[in-house]
Amino acid sequence: MTGTAASAPCSVSCDRRFRLTTQCVHQLQRLTIGLLLFLGLSTSIASAQGYSDLYEFGAAGGGCCPQYPSLMTQGQDGSLYGITSSGGSSSVGIVFKITPSGTFNIIYNFDTVHGSTPVGGLTLGVDGDLYGTTEEGGANGFGNIFKITPSGNLTVLYDFKGAADGGHPVSALVLGTDGVFHGTSYPGVAFKMTTKGVVTVIKPIPATTFGPLLEATDGNYYGVTEFGGTFSAGTVYKIAGTKVTTLYNFDGTHGSFPIGGLVQASDGLLYGTTTAGGASNAGVIYKITTAGTLTVVLSFDSVHTLDGYQAFAGLVAGSDGNLYGATIWGGKNGYGVIFQLTTGGAYSVLYSFDAPHGDGAYATPMQHTSGKLFGMTERGGTPGKGGIYSFDYGVSPFASLVTTVGTVGKTIGILGQGFSGTTSVKFNGTPAATFKVISDTYLTVKVPSGETGFVRITTPSSTLISNRVFKVTPKITSIAPTSGKVGDQVVISGTGLIQASAISVGGVAVTAFTVNSDSKVTFVVPAGAKTGKVVATTPGGKASSTTAFTVTP
């Protein structure tokens, strides 16, 4: 990209989302930075090591100015799919496809009838289609949920009614381990949706959520609200089944107005950013336990700005165990930075944005299985309407599991590259007997015997390891006998039992059991056993017998 983006007119338009009102707060600062650049008084543009401009928005009929969170997703073909909230043939947004090398195509132009102003982003479904939401338009004017094929065939799955289901969704959907999509809508509604478009309202949440919900390893969902809470500065909340709990109320000192959502890092803690608050009211990076204990990891500094400040984008939990993110201000050129954060709290600036190459990284970036980060900017570039970038910081390629939980025999999909000629797929060291290479970037595999752990794929050129653990869900198909006294032996039959770590009868722990195979466990009825279900616990979860075991005298 060449040239410098012109500043947008400063106007305060307070709508339901309060989108970009902070832009006006910093308008004078941007103009000052631009003047310094013009006079040659600013620092020189940082080396763009690892940074690539893939595409700039602004062509006639093209997309424009991606807002937050605008999540992109990787498709089965290895390309990235995303949305912009404006532009296109009807000026109400597009769905686009871009290859990792930068070949860009619009695959759908929104037209209000089928929704308009998509903001949240896209999510890959197990069927290979992309799922998303529009903030406006649709049959009732409250936005909708849609799915679209990689070739651009769009189907509206659900139109919001503006009633108990809320409306005007601004967060991306997340595909749960139960195979159901979960999302949020305005002014504060959590819902779930089947792939057929059947929507069920879960419960009201504290306020509007921009970032997507996070399904943590404990099986619960976590999110943040920009406003609401005790101090009207936002919250962290938890959804466990149908119960919604506020875990933390932001208070300014520990951050305020979070937007980007949460990620779970390799240390098991949840991490996020706020757009304000902290030591100099420039936002913070924080970590929080699933019980609600919050710690500020870093307070951004709006006075000493080389490290960047004010993060609207959410964090990326990288496959290397580090966290990555972006700010909209600061850095060597004043236009924000790409940064890295270790779970130990070490912060590093990787790249400083500049107006000619895009600025205003409001959108949350994502990591491609090539190891590279991909993201979007709202401003900058020759037309000044933002663009799509990639950033290579030397992280190795990896495999991405479309589904992270399943029973033995279930077929799951895996994303990656270089799959042609794959010789083996192993789950925690156990080889899968059946796998099928669909393309160089996508394969399917049947889950072998119940080894919960990382998935390792051996290709002709490398070995790729999944960025997440696959949990093999145990299943009990029968117990024999179904009754007996203390000291009797009982056989459990099922699948996914090879890593059984605990057995109980009627809630009483079994002290003596033997794992015979993935499909068989034998145990001795313990002293104090009570009549009830037999439960087996493995790293992949718990399985309960369908019939109760009766303890006899």
Rounded distance between C-alpha atoms, residue 63 and residue 87, angstroms: 4
Distances (CA, A) of 423 to 38, 83, 202, 449: 57, 36, 44, 19
What is the Cα–Cα distance from 462 to 416, expressed in whole angstroms?
12
Is 339:326 a contact under the CB 8 Å cutoff? Answer: yes
Confidence check: pLDDT of 136 > 70: yes
How many Å apart are CA 105 and CA 136, to the nearest integer? Answer: 23
The lowest-confidence range among 7-21, 470-484, 495-509 is 7-21
Give the lowest-confidence range in 3-17, 288-302, 343-357, 388-402. Answer: 3-17
Say what the pLDDT of residue 341 is. Answer: 98
Residues 357 and 443 in one domain: no
Residue among 255, 326, 243 at smallest CA distance from 287: 255
Report, as an integer, the average pLDDT of 249-278: 98
Instruction: Look at residue 441 and tell me whether its pLDDT is greater than 70.
Output: yes
Q: Which residue has the tokens 């992949």?
A: 540
> Could you tell me if residue 10 is inside a domain?
no
Mean pLDDT throughout 20-42? 37
Asked whether residue 142 falls in the same domain as residue 64, the answer is yes
Mean pLDDT of the 460-471 span: 97
- Is 190 in the same domain as 89? yes
Indicate whether 123 belongs to any domain: yes
By the 8 A CB rule, do 529 and 486 touch? yes
HSE (side-chain half, CA atoms, 13 Å) at 428: 17
Single-letter code of the amino acid located at 233: A
- For residue 60, what pLDDT is reported? 75
Query: Both 333 and 272 in a single domain?
Result: yes
On average, the pLDDT of the chain sits at 92
Q: Which helix (H) or strand (E) holds 248?
A: strand 243-249
Is the CB of residue 472 less than 8 Å from the CB of residue 450?
A: yes
User: Is the domain of 444 the same as that of 343?
Assistant: no
Answer whether 159's CB lies under 8 Å from 140's CB.
yes
Q: How far apart are CA 411 and CA 434, in angstroms?
A: 9
- Residue 41: inside a domain: yes
pLDDT value of residue 247: 98
What is the pLDDT at residue 38? 35
CATH number, domain of 465, equals 2.60.40.10
Contact yes or no for 176/190 (Cβ under 8 A) = no
- DSSP assignment of 95-122 equals EEEE-TT--EEEEEE--BTTBB---SBE
Please give the pLDDT value at position 49.
56
Strand 94-98 vs strand 104-109: parallel, antiparallel, or unpaired?
antiparallel
Mean pLDDT of 183-201: 97
pLDDT tens digits, one per residue of 302-346: 998 999 999 999 999 999 999 999 999 999 999 999 999 999 999
Query: 542 pairs with which residues across the strands?
Result: 537
Confidence of residue 45 (pLDDT cuts 50, 70, 90): very low
Q: What DSSP string runs through 300-327?
A: --SSSGGG-B---SPPEE-TTS-EEEE-
On whether residue 8 sits in a domain, the answer given is no
Domain-located, residue 86: yes
DSSP per-residue letters across 64-81: E---SS-B-EE-TTS-EE
Task: Say yes or no to pLDDT of 10 above 80.
Answer: no
Helix (H, G, I), strand (E, B) or coil at 38: helix
Residue 205, φ and ψ in degrees, nearest 5? -115, 170
Segment 371-392, tens digit of pLDDT: 999 999 999 998 999 999 999 9
pLDDT band at 6 (very low <50, low <70, confident <90, very high): very low
pLDDT band (50, 70, 90) for residue 8: very low
Phi, psi of 271 (to 5 degrees): -125, 150
Q: Do both 73 and 160 map to the same domain?
A: yes
- What Cα–Cα distance (Å) separates residue 240 from each residue in 185, 190, 221, 248, 290? 18, 12, 7, 16, 11
Q: What is the pLDDT of residue 78?
A: 98
Token pair of 48 as six digits: 């763009």
pLDDT in tens, 201-238: 999 999 999 999 999 999 999 999 999 999 999 999 99
Cis peptide before 481 (omega within 30 of 0): yes
Task: Pick the last residue of a domain from 427, 444, 471.
Answer: 471
Q: At a CB cut-off of 8 Å and minimum separation 6, what does 275 contact?
A: 22, 226, 256, 257, 258, 259, 283, 310, 311, 312
15 domain-assigned = no
> Which of residues 391, 410, 429 is at a domain's end?
391
The verdict on 279 and 354 lying in the same domain is: yes
What values do phi and psi take at 364, rounded to 5? -75, 125
Mean pLDDT of 293-303: 97
List the structure tokens of 198: 């059947």
Provide the domain limits for residue 64. 21-391
Residues 130 and 230 in one domain: yes
202 and 135: one domain?
yes
Is position 290 within any domain? yes
pLDDT of residue 460: 96
Phi then psi for 328, rounded to 5 degrees? Answer: -100, -10
Q: How far is residue 265's CA from residue 263's CA, in Å, rounded to a whole number?
A: 6
Q: Which residues pair with 400 in a beta bridge?
A: 415
Q: Are 335 and 380 in contact (CB under 8 A)?
A: yes
Whether residue 492 lies inside any domain: the answer is yes
Q: For 224, phi and psi rounded to 5 degrees?
A: -130, 150
Q: How far apart are the first and last CA of the chain?
A: 82
373 in the same domain as 466: no
Same domain, 236 and 312: yes
Taking Cα atoms as reference points, which of 518, 451, 316, 318 lies closest to residue 326? 316
Do 130 and 255 reside in the same domain of the chain? yes
Question: Counting Cβ atoms within 10 Å, is residue 279 exposed (0-12), middle (13-18) or buried (19+)?
Answer: middle
Contacts of 196 (CB under 8 A, 6+ apart): 157
Q: Tell me the β-bridge partners of 532.
A: 549
Question: pLDDT > 70: what percent of the chain?
Answer: 91
Q: How confident is the model at residue 58 (pLDDT cuts 50, 70, 90)?
A: confident
Distance from C-alpha of 42 to C-alpha of 478, rounded to nearest angstrom? 73
Residue 553: exposed, middle, or buried by beta-carbon count in 10 A (0-12, 13-18, 19+)? Answer: exposed
Tokens 């605990």 belong to residue: 502
How many structural domains does the chain have?
Answer: 3
Q: Give the CATH number, domain containing residue 78.
A: 2.130.10.10
Domain end marker among 371, 391, 411:
391
SS3 347: strand
Q: What per-residue confidence (pLDDT) applies to 170? A: 98
User: What's the CA gap between 64 and 220, in Å, rounded?
Assistant: 35
Q: Could you give the dihedral angle defined by the CA atoms of residues 288, 289, 293 and 295, in that order, rounded to the nearest 10 degrees?
A: -30
